[in-house]
Amino acid sequence: MHNLYKIKRVLEKINYSGQVQNAALEQGDPKLYTEILKFLVFRSSRAMREHLEAKGISLQSEYLPDHKFYKALADLCANLFAYRLPLSTE
């Protein structure tokens, strides 16, 4: 429960405009977390958007279906930040 409180506080600080339901957070609802990730990457920071554009990343990735967005996010993390995300089809 404490981690959910932390997530909600961070979302408040970055002015996340979407609705956050405790039950969806607790259950790990992929749709909710996808919306949050898209907001963090594409809408929360102009500097981040400019950095992505400068690196040749399409800002249209925000509008991809969820499974394609996660793949694009994993590629972005690997290419820009040398971070490998463990992905599975489950």
Mean pLDDT of 70-85: 83
Instruction: Tell me how far apart the alpha carbons of residues 8 and 16 are, in angstroms, rounded to a whole number.
Output: 9
Range of the domain at 21: 2-81
Number of domains in the chain: 1
Would you say residue 87 has pLDDT above 90? Answer: no
Residue 88 domain-assigned (yes or no): no
Mean pLDDT of 84-90: 71
Q: Per-residue pLDDT tens for 17-30?
A: 888 888 888 898 98
Residue 33 domain-assigned (yes or no): yes
Would you say residue 89 has pLDDT above 90? Answer: no
Q: Per-residue pLDDT tens for 24-69?
A: 888 989 899 999 999 998 998 899 899 889 988 888 989 999 989 9
Instruction: Tell me how far apart the alpha carbons of residues 79 and 81 are, in angstroms, rounded to a whole number.
Output: 6
Residue 87 domain-assigned (yes or no): no
Query: What type of residue sits at position 21?
Result: Q
Residue-level pLDDT at 39: 92
Residue 89 domain-assigned (yes or no): no
